[in-house]
Structures are given as C-alpha cells and as structure tokens.
Chain A
Amino acid sequence: MKILMCTDGSRQASEALRFGSLIASDVRQQVTILGVIEHPDEERKVTRMVERVSNALCQEVPHVETRIRHGHAAEEILKETEENEYDLVVVGSRGRRGITRFILGSTAARLTRYCPVSVIIVKGKARGLNRILVCTGGAEAGEKDTEMAGRIGALTGASVTILHVMSQLPLSPECELDDLACAPESLLDTDAREAVHLRKDLRILENLRVPSVAQVRHGLVVDEILAEAREGDYDLIVTGAHVASGILRFMLTDTTEQIVLGSDRPVLVVR
C-alpha cells in the first residue's frame, strides 16, 4: 500500500499525520509525506512538520519520501495524486462549515469529490485505531469498502463493524416489511438482498482474519451512521465515494460528503 500523507502546517494536519502514522508504521511499502505551502510565511512551519514526521516514521518504515509543493492545498494534493501512484491519501480537515466553507471551500470536500484514490479525512483528535466502522449500502460496490477496511484492520489489528442502515418506509399499510425493526442476527438469517451482502462482507473480513461483526440500524441513513460512530466510539468510518456521474450527479444526494461533514472523527472515502 502506497500512502500519501499531507500537511499544510495546520494543527489538524498534524493530527492527520499522527493518524496516518498509525497505518503507515505497519506498511512495508512506500510512504510519501507531502507538505503544501499555501502562504510564503508558512514555509518554515510546513517544512519542519514534514521533517519531524519523516524522521519519526523512518525508524519503522523502510521507504519514506518527502515532497514540498506551493499552492492551494486541495489542488496540489490532487496534482500529486495524478502525477504519482498512491493507494491512500491522508489529510486533515479544518472543519469549516456554513458561510466560511461556502466562501473558502474545503480541502476535505474537494478531495472527497475529486481525489482519484481512497482518502482519509482526519477530523477531531486522532486517538488510535482500534475500531473501524464500514458503512455499506448493501450492494457490490460496498465490498470494495469492506476490503479496504479489512486491509487496514489487518495492518493495525483493529476490529471492523459492517453497518447497514435500513431506511425504507412502508408506503402502504399492506406492505410486509418485517425487517423494518429487525436486529442484525435475524436479518443475517434471511435471503434478503442486504443480508446476502452483509454475509459476503463478513466472509471478506474473515479471510483477512480481521475480527468483525454486522450491525443494522433503522432510520435516516446519515444520521444513523453518525450515531453509530459516536455510540460505538469508532476510530474510523469507512464509506464509498459518491460515484454518480452526468445527470445523476445532480439528482442524487452526496451522502459521503454529508458523512464527512457531519463526522467528528476520521472518515475513509474508498474509491
């Protein structure tokens, strides 16, 4: 796994480097630390941060490379991922919201949308990596997310929970929606589409020898994912990227961006 860890010298970027190090320290491949200097007066701060993290990682990871770029953080990170091959990008999020985010844009939001590889948006304090929450929509696309979470789990020893949120609504009183209130155990015993995928996901993790469980919640998708992350005290939320293109991009809600915006902990967006 080739990891690109990014910093713009901010406090949240140092949290991102700390979180990235949790994964990178177990990776036996290449780690690149990219410092992006947005303003000339930040040069010293960014360079020092890159050097410090590089020195710390060098003791555990055989191939650590450092790079410095000048310009807008999101644009420079995107250029770096286009020019070189990476499996995972790790960045921090300053958590701009409302009007600030509207005016300045968000590096995290841009990367969530346009980064060609999987990206971890580190929000809040990077505490450790013991529990991973994978959000699956109950379809083939979700298996990629599970695989990625499994690989990270296998590297770090973290356990993985596969979460599916049932948000269907009985539009007619005649609807037989027994699974509207069902627990994961009873759902897994059925032939329902979601159950088939949950079982598949659990098998993927079993093959990677990662301790795993399935979880089912009922309600609004984004709200339930964030509630589960909080209540289960997870260290990382894993979700698929918003893949809609063309007219569908305008028609579909970007739940991934909503999760990234609403979360108070790191989120891995899988591509």
Chain B
Amino acid sequence: MRRVNWKKIGLAVVSIALFVLAIQLMKEAAGAVAPYVRGWLHVDNAANSLGFGWLSAYVIMSGSPVAAVALAFFDAGTIGQFEALTMISGSRLGASFIVLFIGLIYVLRGHERLTGLSMGLLSFIITAFLHVPGLGISYVLLANNVTDPIRLGGGGTLTSVLDLLYGPIVEFVMQNAPGWLTFLIGAVLVLLSFNLIDRSLPQLHLESSQFSAISRVVYRPMVMFLMGLVITALSMSVSISLSLLVPLSARGYIKTENAIAYVMGANVSTFVDTLFVALLLNNPAATEVVLVQMISISIVSLFVLSLLYGPFERLVLNITSRTVRSTRNLAIFAAAILITPLILLLV
C-alpha cells in the first residue's frame, strides 16, 4: 500500500491558501495600478494587451500568473473584456515559449538542436495555430453576446467565506502598503503559489513496461486530444502533463502523431487554473472570458482534428524541421517571436 505523503498534502493546502490570498490582494489593489498600466505601458487595446500578456509571460517564465493578473485588471475595470481575452491568450503564447527557451539552453550547452528544440517548437507552433483563430472565434462569441448564459460566479457563500478568512489580512496589507505594492505582493504570491502547487503535485511517471502496447501503435488523434485535455486539467499544468510522457518518448513509445494531438488537448484545459481565478474573483464576466477561450480553442482543435489533422501535422513538423535546420532559420524564428509581442505592445 502506498504511504500518504503528508508533506505534499500540507504543501498543496498552503499553496492553495496562498493562491487565494494572492487573488484577493490583486482584486483589491488592481484599481490602483490602472494608471501605470494605461499611462506607462499604454495597455489600452486588444493588440497591445496581447503583446503585454505575451511579454510578461516571457519575463516571469510562466503563463498562469499573467492570466490571473489579466483577470484582476479586468475585474477592477483597468482593462476591458477583449483586452483581458487577448492578454490571457498572450500569456499562453508566452508560456509555450518557456519549453523552447529551456531547449535553447540545452542546445547552447551542446545538445543536438533537433532533440533540444523539437518539443518546444512544436508546442509553441501548435499554441500559436490554435490561439490565432481561437481569438477570432472568441471575439465573435463575446461581441454577439452568444455566451452570456455561461456567465458563472463563485456565489455569495464563497465571497462571504473568503471575506471572513482573508478580509482582515487584505485589509491590513491595504492599510499599510500603497495600492501598487499590494498588487505586486499579490502577483509575487501568485507566482510563488503556482511554484508550490507544481511541487506539491505527485511526480507522474509511467514506466515503459506499463504502456508497452503503445510502442507499436498510433492512437487516434481524438483519443490523444482527450488524454491531453484530461491529464492537463487534473495536473493543472502543461509542463507536468507533458512530463508524464517524457519517459515514453524514448525509443518510440510516444510517436509524433500522438504528441501533436496531446498538446492540442493540453491547450484547452490549461485554462483550468485561470477559470479558478475567475471564480475566486466572483466575476461572471471574467468567467465568461475564460470559458469562451476554452470553447474557442476546442472548436479550432475539433475542426483541425476532424478535417485537417494530416495537413496540420505536416505543416507543424515542416515548420519545426525548417527552423532547426540552420542557425540562421533558428535566429529568424527567435527574433520573430521576440519582436512580434514588442510590436504588438507598441500598437
């Protein structure tokens, strides 16, 4: 019988408590940072909020805290619904760059370019291909109020409980620190809590012997899509979800055909933690923004999976192999994904 790891359970409880506190702090202080966001960073339209979310995820090397900040800004009225939408999408693009960035470090240390960068490139390209049309669909759905019925709030009871538990702490911080500092403390706590949540999750590793059958077979794209979706929703982290597959990737236990659909599924449920933030903010419009993104990415994914999966696989692999083929191509790709969010931020 497996022993209960109380240390990890304790860590999980602490990290969730910290996470909720962080959201409460950001919620209360977001209004105070509005002048900085609009005045200094000029985040006042959908394009520059996309660039802002994208670059912010690069800087802090994580997407979820940026998405949480986007919702806090939206809740405070600092940014609008479409800006929140694009900022969250930007955070996903920035987050998918992280795997690529780690790969680049490995390449600089002398690893093969193909092995070092393949997964990062694949992950980034798939995310970009899903989010660009996904943003279009989200915009249409929101602009036409199609998704009004899915506006969900945390409920009055949740708000009362949160006020009771966190109210005194939030009030204390607000009284003793300026608004911008309170927001910063909240943002740092979000980052810290995500880090702790990652550590508290069990190490998911499948031995090749447990999955020997998949060494010879290719799963249907839809099956891998659902697997990616469910495992990422449960682990609340794309990187942990992908790490589950790492031991299987050696010697053909996971084929390229399988991995692409899996990453597509992970792109849908990667919003689960952001949805949780929206519920904690008890803001139905924020919940709608997150759900619309999940729906839009699902629509794009299902369209690709059912009608265009073969050409999509080839396109993604073609871009990946062309990018790693030469240092020049790689430099162009790296420059493009750095310059694009910068240009967007300046729009």
Contacts and interface: CB of A to CB of B under 8 A. Distances in A.
A166 B107 CA distance: 22
Contacts of A192: 251
Interface string A245-271: 000001111010000000000000000
A177 B250 contact: yes
Interface residues of A, number: 32
Interface string A153-195: 0000000000000111111111111011100000000001110
A253 B218 contact: yes
B322 interface: no
Contacts of A141: 216
Given A251-B220, A255-B218, A166 B246 contact: no
B340 interface: no
Interface in B97-143: 102-103, 105-107, 111-112, 114-120, 122
B215 A139 contact: yes
Given A252-B219, A255-B218, A173 B257 contact: no
A92 interface: no
Interface string B212-229: 000111111101000000
Contacts of A174: 106
Contact of A168 (B217, B256, B314): B256
A124 interface: no
Given A168-B254, A171-B119, A175-B250, A252 B106 contact: no
B243 interface: yes
A172 B249 contact: yes
Nearest to B309: A253
Given A172-B246, A180-B115, A252 B218 contact: yes
A192 B218 CA distance: 20
B167 interface: no
Contacts of B259: 169, 171
A244 B119 contact: no
A252 B246 contact: no
How many chain B residues sit at the interface, stated as a range, is 35 or more
A171 B242 contact: yes
Nearest to A140: B216
B42 interface: no
A180 B114 contact: yes
Contact of B257 (A171, A220, A250): A220
A250 B222 CA distance: 10
Contacts of A179: 251
A137 interface: yes
A164 B215 CA distance: 13
A177 B250 CA distance: 7
A138 interface: yes
A270 to B, nearest CB: 15
A168 B216 contact: no
Nearest to B118: A170
Interface in B237-289: 242-243, 245-246, 248-257, 259
Contacts of B216: 137-139, 141
B11 to A, nearest CB: 24
B187 to A, nearest CB: 29
B114 A170 contact: yes
Interface string A221-249: 10100000000000000000000100000
A219 interface: yes
A75 to B, nearest CB: 27
B317 interface: yes
A85 to B, nearest CB: 29
A220 B220 contact: no
A180 B117 CA distance: 13
Given A141-B216, A170-B249, A171-B119, A221 B114 contact: no
A253 B246 CA distance: 22
A167 B257 contact: yes
B317 A173 contact: no
Contacts of B219: 251-253
A167 B223 CA distance: 18
Contacts of B107: 173
A171 B246 CA distance: 5
Contacts of B44: none
A253 B252 contact: no
Interface of B: 102-103, 105-107, 111-112, 114-120, 122, 215-221, 223, 242-243, 245-246, 248-257, 259, 313-314, 317
Given A168-B250, A171-B246, 17 more contacts: A137-B217, A138-B252, A139-B215, A167-B252, A167-B255, A168-B249, A168-B252, A168-B256, A169-B119, A170-B249, A171-B245, A172-B243, A172-B249, A173-B107, A221-B218, A221-B257, A253-B220
